[in-house]
Amino acid sequence: MRTARLVKGGASLLLAALMGGAAWAQDTETPAATPATEVPTETPVETPAAAVPDAEATVSHVDCDASPILAWAPEDMGDLTGMITLCREAYVARFNPQTRNPDWVVEVLNPENLKGTADRDDAKFQADPDLVRMNVETRATLPDYKGSGFDRGHQAPAGDMKRSDEVMMESFYLTNMAPQVGIGFNRGAWRKLESVVRNWAATRPGTSLIVITGPIYKDGAEKRFMDSSSGETKVQIPDAFYKIVFDTTRRRSIAFVLENKKLDFNAYKESLTTIQAIQDQTGYNFFPHWSAREATLQETNVANLWR
């Protein structure tokens, strides 16, 4: 395992396209084998300059000095005090100690980095070792989920992590999890969406997909927390989850919001939304490097010419 370093600072027209050959891949607590797919060679993606954090904000960055994924992170617009950015080989996560969940998780997917033979059966859910090392007490624990009735829902799916055993292991850190309804969501509609996105990435040679995933807590809604076998926890239950996908070569994007409840298996097809709508609900500025013209085009259109 790498040694972490701490640095302080601060829609129906598209249904046919969405259905296009989506591969099936498991990302629940009950594993299933996924057939191997022949994929083309990776074309390097040009990454934007990383956003400069607010100098007055207190954010911890772990292992982020050389992360190419960090450049795609959303721009934070609110209070960053206590937030922790965790840069892993295959994803970057922003951990929120108030909700004890990640606020967002960013991946860069392409045909090449989806190759591999790492098996989720060899990984296990575990506390994030960096938060343990940093003595962060306001974090989710394994007992928090025991008897809660909620799944430990991957934000960066295990199905995207076959490139190495280490990458697979890192995807099982609790900082990559949030409480998700199991039957009909994490084991159904959400898993289906993850599979569709993964298939897009595996079958688009010469490009990379930027995938940003996270929870939504509705304004005005009563905060809900998991009840475990040991009593009430401090882990907040999201009302919904979002997933944004941006094709770096075709310059096209698509966004989804799914409510955290039992849904029809193909609910993602009826869950298209705009990036602007997700920004309004989360307070993040996604893809801040976009020009004003591109931001208007990408953020205000549902599934901007996605295919």
In the set 94, 120, 154, 269, the catalytic residue is 154
What H or E segment, with its residue span, contains residue 93?
strand 92-96
Q: Using alpha carbons, list the distances in angstroms from residue 127 to 8, 14, 288.
A: 22, 40, 31
154 is catalytic: yes
Q: Which residues pair with 232 in a beta bridge?
A: 227
What H or E segment, with its residue span, contains residue 86?
strand 83-87
Cα dihedral 253/257/263/266 (nearest 10): -10
Q: Measure the CA–CA gap between 2 and 170, rounded to whole angstroms.
A: 11
Angle between helix 275-282 and 292-300 (nearest 10): 90
Q: Are 282 and 242 in contact (CB under 8 A)?
A: yes
HSE (CB half, 13 Å, CA atoms) of 219? Answer: 6
Q: In Å, how far from its chain's centre is CA 224?
A: 21
Q: Which residues pair with 119 in a beta bridge?
A: none
- Annotated ligand binding at 199? The verdict is no
Q: Measure the CA–CA gap between 209 and 42, rounded to whole angstroms.
A: 12
Pairing of β 240-247 and β 252-259: antiparallel
For residue 125, give both structure tokens.
């859910």
Q: Measure the CA–CA gap between 209 and 246, rounded to whole angstroms.
A: 5
For residue 78, give both structure tokens.
């609110």
Q: Which residues are annotated as a binding site for Mg(2+)?
A: 186
- List the binding residues: 186
Catalytic center residues:
154
